Amino acid sequence: MKPTGPDLSFEASPVNDVALAPRLSTIRTVTLATGMLLTYFLGAASTGSVTILIPRMASDLGKTELETQWVASAYTFAFACGLIFSGRLADTLGRRKLYLAGLTIYAVFAVVTGVVKNRVALSLCRAMSGLGMSIASPAGFGIIGATIRHEPARTIAFAASGLGNPIGAVFGNLIGGLMASIGPNGWSYLFFLLAGLAALLLAGAFFIVPSDPDVGKKFDERIDWTGGLCVTAGICLFTFSLTESGIAVDGWRASYVPALLATSLVLLAVFVLWSLHLEHRTTFPPIFKISVFTRRHGLVGITLACVLLISMCILAWIYTTSIFCQNYKGLSPLANALAVLPAPIVGLFAAAAVVLLAPRVSTPHILCVGSAMTAASSIMYAAWPEGTSFWALEFPAQLIHPWGTDFVFGLGNILMSNLVDQNELSVGGALFQTSGQVGGALGICLSSLISSEIAEQAGSVLAGVRAAFYFSAACGFAVSVIALLGFRNVKLAKDVGQIQ
């Protein structure tokens, strides 16, 4: 059945048309960018801090670590599921409203998480917090893109907001370790701390975040609920099946895991066909236009492919280093966290470098060199000679590891904001973040499968680890090749929107 209604479709003005956009003061711009940086910080810290608490939580709850893993996984699962539909709602109903609503949901359920002591209730509350962050994050992306329209402030703001992820990852691990050391049930204080930060952001947002600018354009406010249901359910089942494959005792051998994966692929295929139907045969707006992937010579699709692959690379590296440190070297989880601490610390400098390089150095060069450095780090781990000390190989490998991830995500933010139309900013940010989430899930799933299969065949944990590190390196080098070829006609990231 064809959706009916008045034809409210229009062609949005290019994102570089800033004639009608007000110029924010420097203080307002810095404050707004800082607020969004802290939003991404909160999202990253919420993941890392809880992951390191799993052993302590399992002990306090009287459950196994495998059973308790869902307390951490529920957050990332819900976050990935809600992004795309939330992005469309933000573009349609108002980014400021959705941003405030998302932070409110996050804060409320973070408080409840700190109170309850039941594993199932904890997992549900964490899922609701993840849903809240999935509402706030794409809205925040759209807020920056819609309100900071002038260069170089726009490029610097998007690059600076990207600092939130590496900073949140570093401090999340440190905060989680600190809470774990308090004693029994000390982990509950973590959620009160996270709720407090969300409350501060919420209070500040009332003054920092401006109303959505009205530049006289008529936006279509109809919502494709059918497409929203299909894409949300499809991503939910896809990420659930990948997550469950690593948590379930039988892994992929459990019959429901591949069945759910197949169902998710069918739902996503239905979503694509339905969206194409709406885009080309009706005036009803889809969740997002499938043609966005081929827009401007496919640069949106190329950007998302780079994000997907670099996420696979980094998460495969993180998972495989945990197997290397704990299963092969026999280190404790805390010692494992300390053994890989140099990488996220260097990541702070890599993310800061994006702010300096993005307005000055061509996009393909930054992406190619950074991704090659990350891939080289995985190669160094894969070729690790047995008995080599940490300082001789692992430490220098970690010094070059974060650059590809931070460069791709930092520049990707800028590229995506300039490649989508003004009425697609939040859903564009949602596509960007969803690519990262799906890539991370695939990276963990495939590296786990590779390492376990090779280890079983060779009878050696180290053999499996080496194979998984080579897989991580392949993903990193693929980004270098794609960036060099796909962005060969792109100079600075801020100018990518001018390509027709």
* Rounded CA separation 292/432 (Å): 12
Model pLDDT, residue 395: 95
Domain stops at, among 181, 211, 241: 211
Model pLDDT, residue 309: 96
In a domain, 307, yes or no: yes
Give the range among 141-155, 255-269, 326-340, 439-453 with minimum mean pLDDT: 326-340
In a domain, 356, yes or no: yes
Residue 243: pLDDT over 70: yes
pLDDT tens profile 412-433: 888 988 888 888 889 998 999 8
Q: What's the half-sphere exposure (Cβ side, CA atoms, 13 Å) at 336?
A: 18
**Same domain as 360, residue 411:** yes
* Rounded CA separation 178/339 (Å): 17
**Mean pLDDT, all residues of the chain:** 85
**Same domain as 267, residue 173:** no
Percent of the chain with pLDDT over 90: 38
pLDDT tens profile 60-71: 888 876 677 788
Domain stops at, among 286, 302, 331: 286
* Rounded CA separation 119/113 (Å): 10
**Same domain as 386, residue 274:** no
Model pLDDT, residue 499: 67
Concatenate the DSSP letters of all residues of 104-132 into one string. Answer: HHHHHHHHHHHH---HHHHHHHHHHHHHH
pLDDT tens profile 208-227: 888 776 544 556 778 899 99
Residue 19: pLDDT over 90: no
Q: Are 309 and 475 in contact, with CB atoms under 8 Å apart? A: yes
**Same domain as 364, residue 310:** yes
Q: Are 288 and 431 in contact, with CB atoms under 8 Å apart? A: yes
Higher pLDDT, 254 or 471: 471
Model pLDDT, residue 13: 41
**Same domain as 191, residue 262:** no
Structure token pair of residue 114: 């700190």
Residue 233 belongs to what domain range? 225-286
In a domain, 401, yes or no: yes
Cα 47 to Cα 11, 130, 150, 473: the distances in Å are 39, 9, 33, 24
Q: Are 36 and 154 in contact, with CB atoms under 8 Å apart? A: no
Residue 449: pLDDT over 90: no
Percent of the chain with pLDDT over 70: 91
**Same domain as 299, residue 261:** no
Q: Are 317 and 469 in contact, with CB atoms under 8 Å apart? A: yes
pLDDT tens profile 123-180: 999 999 999 999 999 999 999 888 888 888 888 888 888 778 778 877 777 787 778 7
Q: Are 102 and 133 in contact, with CB atoms under 8 Å apart? A: yes
In a domain, 131, yes or no: yes
Model pLDDT, residue 49: 79
Give the range among 246-250, 259-263, 275-279 with minimum mean pLDDT: 246-250
pLDDT tens profile 24-45: 778 888 888 888 889 988 988 8
Q: Is 281 exposed, middle or buried (0-12, 13-18, 19+ CB in 10 A)?
A: exposed
Structure token pair of residue 446: 């495939």
Query: Residues near 251 by Cβ (< 8 Å), separated by ≥ 6?
Result: 245, 257
Q: Are 117 and 68 in contact, with CB atoms under 8 Å apart? A: no
Q: What is the residue whose two structure tokens read 């009706």? A: 282
**Same domain as 136, residue 70:** yes
Structure token pair of residue 377: 């780090």
Residue 2: pLDDT over 50: no
Give the containing element (helix H, strand E) for 307.
helix 295-322
Q: Are 176 and 190 in contact, with CB atoms under 8 Å apart? A: yes
pLDDT tens profile 79-124: 988 899 999 999 888 899 999 999 999 999 999 999 998 889 999 9
pLDDT-derived band of residue 248, with 50, 70 and 90 as boundaries?
A: low
In a domain, 490, yes or no: yes
**Same domain as 307, residue 282:** no
Model pLDDT, residue 127: 92
In a domain, 1, yes or no: no
pTM: predicted TM-score of the whole model, two decimal places: 0.85
Domain stops at, among 182, 211, 240: 211
In a domain, 4, yes or no: no
**Same domain as 341, residue 192:** no
